Amino acid sequence: MVITKMTYPTADALGVNLSSLNIHQLDGLICEASEALKLLRKQEEKKDLALIKELAAKHGLQFTLTAAEASEGAFRSSSTGGSPLKGMKHPPRFRNPANFSETWTGLGRKPVWVQTYLDNGGELDALRIKEGEEGGKSNAALKG
pTM of the model: 0.41
Q: Which of 112, 108, 110, 105 is nearest to 141 (CA)?
A: 105
Amino acid (one-letter) located at 18: L
Domain residue spans of the chain: 18-72, 94-143
Beta strands in 2-70 (DSSP E): none
Whole-number Å distance between alpha carbons of 13 and 8: 10
List per-residue pLDDT tens for the chain, 144 residues long.
Answer: 677 777 888 888 888 898 998 999 988 889 898 999 999 999 998 898 889 888 988 988 887 776 666 655 555 544 555 666 667 788 899 999 999 899 999 988 999 999 999 999 999 999 999 877 765 444 444 444
